Protein backbone atom coordinates (compact mmCIF):
# COMPACT_ATOMS: atom_id res chain seq x y z
CA UNK A 1 0.00 0.00 0.00
CA UNK A 2 1.35 3.39 -0.98
CA UNK A 3 1.32 5.95 1.83
CA UNK A 4 -1.26 8.69 1.32
CA UNK A 5 -0.06 12.27 0.73
CA UNK A 6 -1.16 13.14 4.26
CA UNK A 7 1.05 10.36 5.55
CA UNK A 8 3.91 11.73 3.48
CA UNK A 9 3.47 15.18 4.92
CA UNK A 10 3.26 13.85 8.45
CA UNK A 11 6.31 11.67 7.89
CA UNK A 12 8.31 14.54 6.46
CA UNK A 13 7.32 16.74 9.40
CA UNK A 14 8.16 13.92 11.82
CA UNK A 15 11.57 13.54 10.18
CA UNK A 16 12.33 17.20 10.69
CA UNK A 17 11.29 17.05 14.33
CA UNK A 18 13.34 13.91 14.88
CA UNK A 19 16.49 15.28 13.29
CA UNK A 20 16.11 18.59 15.11
CA UNK A 21 15.89 16.94 18.53
CA UNK A 22 18.80 14.62 17.81
CA UNK A 23 20.87 17.50 16.45
CA UNK A 24 20.32 19.50 19.58
CA UNK A 25 21.36 16.64 21.86
CA UNK A 26 24.52 16.00 19.88
CA UNK A 27 25.30 19.71 19.65
CA UNK A 28 25.26 19.85 23.45
CA UNK A 29 27.72 16.95 23.61
CA UNK A 30 29.98 18.90 21.24
CA UNK A 31 29.62 22.00 23.39
CA UNK A 32 30.78 20.08 26.44
CA UNK A 33 33.70 18.47 24.62
CA UNK A 34 34.84 21.79 23.17
CA UNK A 35 34.63 23.55 26.54
CA UNK A 36 36.55 20.77 28.24
CA UNK A 37 39.36 21.02 25.68
CA UNK A 38 39.39 24.81 26.17
CA UNK A 39 38.74 25.49 22.52
CA UNK A 40 38.03 29.07 21.56
CA UNK A 41 34.62 30.35 20.46
CA UNK A 42 35.09 29.18 16.89
CA UNK A 43 36.36 25.79 17.97
CA UNK A 44 33.37 25.23 20.24
CA UNK A 45 30.96 26.09 17.43
CA UNK A 46 32.80 23.85 14.97
CA UNK A 47 32.81 20.89 17.35
CA UNK A 48 29.10 21.44 18.04
CA UNK A 49 28.44 21.48 14.31
CA UNK A 50 30.48 18.32 13.69
CA UNK A 51 28.74 16.49 16.52
CA UNK A 52 25.28 17.61 15.45
CA UNK A 53 25.47 17.38 11.66
CA UNK A 54 28.47 15.10 11.04
CA UNK A 55 26.55 11.83 11.16
CA UNK A 56 23.67 12.93 8.98
CA UNK A 57 25.98 14.63 6.50
CA UNK A 58 28.19 11.56 6.13
CA UNK A 59 25.06 9.44 5.59
CA UNK A 60 23.83 11.85 2.92
CA UNK A 61 27.23 11.92 1.16
CA UNK A 62 27.31 8.11 1.16
CA UNK A 63 23.70 7.87 -0.05
CA UNK A 64 24.27 10.75 -2.50
CA UNK A 65 21.30 12.63 -1.04
CA UNK A 66 20.91 16.39 -1.24
CA UNK A 67 20.13 18.80 0.35
CA UNK A 68 21.75 18.15 3.71
CA UNK A 69 19.64 18.77 6.80
CA UNK A 70 21.53 21.98 7.62
CA UNK A 71 21.11 23.24 4.05
CA UNK A 72 17.37 22.58 4.03
CA UNK A 73 16.97 23.98 7.56
CA UNK A 74 19.62 26.68 7.84
CA UNK A 75 17.93 28.15 10.91
CA UNK A 76 19.61 25.38 12.91
CA UNK A 77 23.01 26.77 12.02
CA UNK A 78 22.05 30.03 13.71
CA UNK A 79 20.80 28.16 16.76
CA UNK A 80 24.10 26.32 17.03
CA UNK A 81 26.16 29.48 16.67
CA UNK A 82 24.00 31.26 19.25
CA UNK A 83 24.33 28.32 21.66
CA UNK A 84 28.10 28.13 21.26
CA UNK A 85 28.72 31.85 21.56
CA UNK A 86 26.25 32.16 24.42
CA UNK A 87 27.83 29.28 26.31
CA UNK A 88 31.31 30.80 25.99
CA UNK A 89 30.19 34.27 27.03
CA UNK A 90 27.72 33.52 29.79
CA UNK A 91 28.14 30.11 31.26
CA UNK A 92 30.15 29.39 34.42
CA UNK A 93 32.05 26.16 34.85
CA UNK A 94 29.97 24.86 37.73
CA UNK A 95 26.93 24.50 35.49
CA UNK A 96 28.75 22.09 33.26
CA UNK A 97 29.61 19.61 35.96
CA UNK A 98 25.86 19.23 36.18
CA UNK A 99 25.07 18.91 32.48
CA UNK A 100 27.79 16.34 31.86
CA UNK A 101 25.69 13.58 33.33
CA UNK A 102 22.40 15.16 32.32
CA UNK A 103 23.41 15.06 28.67
CA UNK A 104 23.34 11.26 28.58
CA UNK A 105 19.57 11.28 28.33
CA UNK A 106 19.04 13.61 25.38
CA UNK A 107 22.02 11.88 23.78
CA UNK A 108 20.27 8.50 24.14
CA UNK A 109 17.21 10.06 22.50
CA UNK A 110 19.37 11.39 19.66
CA UNK A 111 20.90 7.95 19.25
CA UNK A 112 17.50 6.38 18.72
CA UNK A 113 16.18 9.05 16.40
CA UNK A 114 19.25 9.15 14.17
CA UNK A 115 19.38 5.38 13.99
CA UNK A 116 15.78 5.16 12.90
CA UNK A 117 15.95 7.95 10.32
CA UNK A 118 19.25 6.74 8.86
CA UNK A 119 18.00 3.19 8.44
CA UNK A 120 14.76 4.42 6.90
CA UNK A 121 16.46 6.64 4.32
CA UNK A 122 18.81 3.83 3.29
CA UNK A 123 15.98 1.29 2.96
CA UNK A 124 14.09 3.81 0.83
CA UNK A 125 16.97 3.48 -1.66
CA UNK A 126 16.56 -0.32 -1.67
CA UNK A 127 19.95 -0.93 -0.10
CA UNK A 128 20.62 -4.35 1.48
CA UNK A 129 19.40 -4.65 5.08
CA UNK A 130 22.86 -4.81 6.67
CA UNK A 131 23.90 -1.69 4.75
CA UNK A 132 20.74 0.16 5.78
CA UNK A 133 21.29 -0.77 9.42
CA UNK A 134 24.90 0.42 9.23
CA UNK A 135 23.75 3.70 7.68
CA UNK A 136 21.59 4.11 10.78
CA UNK A 137 24.59 3.33 12.96
CA UNK A 138 26.79 5.81 11.06
CA UNK A 139 24.15 8.53 11.35
CA UNK A 140 23.96 7.96 15.09
CA UNK A 141 27.66 7.61 15.86
CA UNK A 142 29.73 9.45 13.28
CA UNK A 143 29.05 12.91 14.69
CA UNK A 144 30.47 11.84 18.03
CA UNK A 145 33.44 10.18 16.35
CA UNK A 146 34.26 13.33 14.38
CA UNK A 147 33.86 15.40 17.56
CA UNK A 148 36.39 13.23 19.39
CA UNK A 149 38.84 12.99 16.48
CA UNK A 150 38.95 16.77 16.13
CA UNK A 151 39.42 17.06 19.91
CA UNK A 152 42.38 14.67 19.54
CA UNK A 153 40.87 11.83 21.58
CA UNK A 154 40.25 8.21 20.67
CA UNK A 155 36.48 8.30 20.08
CA UNK A 156 34.53 7.41 23.21
CA UNK A 157 32.15 5.29 21.16
CA UNK A 158 35.03 3.00 20.17
CA UNK A 159 36.66 2.42 23.50
CA UNK A 160 34.50 3.02 26.57
CA UNK A 161 32.89 -0.43 26.41
CA UNK A 162 29.47 1.01 27.11
CA UNK A 163 27.03 -0.15 24.43
CA UNK A 164 26.28 2.70 22.05
CA UNK A 165 26.74 1.71 18.42
CA UNK A 166 25.45 -1.71 19.45
CA UNK A 167 22.16 -0.16 20.55
CA UNK A 168 21.92 1.60 17.19
CA UNK A 169 22.64 -1.71 15.48
CA UNK A 170 19.82 -3.47 17.32
CA UNK A 171 17.46 -0.56 16.72
CA UNK A 172 18.27 -0.58 13.00
CA UNK A 173 17.36 -4.27 12.74
CA UNK A 174 14.04 -3.51 14.42
CA UNK A 175 13.32 -1.07 11.60
CA UNK A 176 14.21 -3.70 9.02
CA UNK A 177 11.93 -6.19 10.76
CA UNK A 178 9.04 -3.74 10.96
CA UNK A 179 9.56 -2.83 7.31
CA UNK A 180 9.51 -6.51 6.41
CA UNK A 181 6.25 -6.92 8.30
CA UNK A 182 4.85 -3.99 6.25
CA UNK A 183 4.35 -1.70 9.23
CA UNK A 184 3.81 1.96 8.36
CA UNK A 185 7.03 4.02 8.23
CA UNK A 186 5.91 6.00 11.28
CA UNK A 187 5.44 2.88 13.39
CA UNK A 188 8.72 1.38 12.19
CA UNK A 189 10.49 4.63 13.03
CA UNK A 190 8.99 4.57 16.50
CA UNK A 191 9.93 0.95 17.14
CA UNK A 192 13.52 1.44 15.97
CA UNK A 193 14.05 4.63 17.92
CA UNK A 194 12.49 3.19 21.07
CA UNK A 195 14.65 0.08 20.81
CA UNK A 196 17.93 1.96 20.33
CA UNK A 197 17.15 4.53 22.99
CA UNK A 198 15.71 1.94 25.35
CA UNK A 199 18.66 -0.47 25.15
CA UNK A 200 21.02 2.47 25.63
CA UNK A 201 19.19 3.67 28.73
CA UNK A 202 19.10 0.16 30.18
CA UNK A 203 22.80 -0.35 29.41
CA UNK A 204 23.73 2.88 31.15
CA UNK A 205 21.47 2.18 34.09
CA UNK A 206 22.71 -1.39 34.63
CA UNK A 207 26.33 -0.62 33.76
CA UNK A 208 26.61 -3.24 31.01
CA UNK A 209 30.04 -3.50 29.40
CA UNK A 210 31.24 -4.82 26.05
CA UNK A 211 34.32 -7.04 25.93
CA UNK A 212 37.49 -5.25 24.84
CA UNK A 213 40.49 -6.35 22.85
CA UNK A 214 44.06 -6.28 24.03
CA UNK A 215 47.41 -7.77 23.12
CA UNK A 216 50.79 -8.08 24.76
CA UNK A 217 51.65 -4.70 23.22
CA UNK A 218 48.61 -2.84 24.59
CA UNK A 219 48.85 0.48 26.36
CA UNK A 220 49.51 -0.12 30.08
Nearer to its own copies, 60 or 190 (CB): 60
Nearer to its own copies, 58 or 190 (CB): 58
Considering the rule CB under 8 A, would residue 194 count as an interface residue with its own copies? no
Output the CA–CA distances (angstroms, integers) from residue 107 to 14, 83, 111, in the order listed.
18, 17, 6
User: CB of 56 within 8 A of CB of 120?
Assistant: no
Nearer to its own copies, 154 or 202 (CB): 154
Helices 5-36/129-150 angle, 10° precision: 30
Considering the rule CB under 8 A, would residue 39 count as an interface residue with its own copies? yes
Please pick, from the candidates 165, 174, 176, 193, the single residue that binds its own copies as defined by CB under 8 A: 165
Nearer to its own copies, 124 or 187 (CB): 124
Considering the rule CB under 8 A, would residue 134 count as an interface residue with its own copies? yes
Query: Rounded to the nearest whole angstrom, what is the least distance from the CB of residue 186 to its own copies in the complex?
Result: 26
DSSP state, residue 3: P
Identify the CA nearest to 90 among candidates 129, 147, 35. 35
Question: Total number of residues binding its own copies (CB under 8 A)?
Answer: 66
Considering the rule CB under 8 A, would residue 202 count as an interface residue with its own copies? no
Query: Rounded to the nearest whole angstrom, what is the least distance from the CB of residue 46 to its own copies in the complex?
Result: 6
First vs last Cα of the chain: how many Å apart?
58
Per-residue contact flags (x/-) with its own copies for residues 61 to 100, judged by CB under 8 A: xx-x-x-x-xx--x--xx--------xxx---xx-xx--x
User: CB of 136 within 8 A of CB of 172?
Assistant: yes
Per-residue contact flags (x/-) with its own copies for residues 93 to 132, judged by CB under 8 A: xx-xx--x--------------------------xx-xx-
Q: How far apart are alpha carbons 169 and 166 in whole angstroms?
A: 5
Please pick, from the candidates 17, 82, 102, 149, the single residue that binds its own copies as defined by CB under 8 A: 149
Q: How far apart are alpha carbons 116 and 15 in whole angstroms?
A: 10
Q: How far apart are alpha carbons 58 and 38 in whole angstroms?
A: 27
Q: 33 in helix, strand or coil?
A: helix
Please, how many CA atoms are within 13 Å of residue 116, restricted to the half-sphere of its CB?
30
Whether omega before 67 lies within 30 degrees of 0, making that bond cis, reads yes
Residues of this chain that bind its own copies (CB under 8 A): 32, 34-44, 46-47, 57, 61-62, 64, 66, 68, 70-71, 74, 77-78, 87-89, 93-94, 96-97, 100, 127-128, 130-131, 134, 145, 149-155, 157-161, 163-166, 209-219
Amino acid sequence: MLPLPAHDLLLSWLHTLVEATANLAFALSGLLAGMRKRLDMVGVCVVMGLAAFGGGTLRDVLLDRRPFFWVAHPGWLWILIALGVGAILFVRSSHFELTERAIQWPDALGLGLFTASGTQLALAQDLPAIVAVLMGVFTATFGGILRDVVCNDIPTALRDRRPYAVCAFVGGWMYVLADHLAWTPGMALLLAAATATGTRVVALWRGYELPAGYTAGSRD
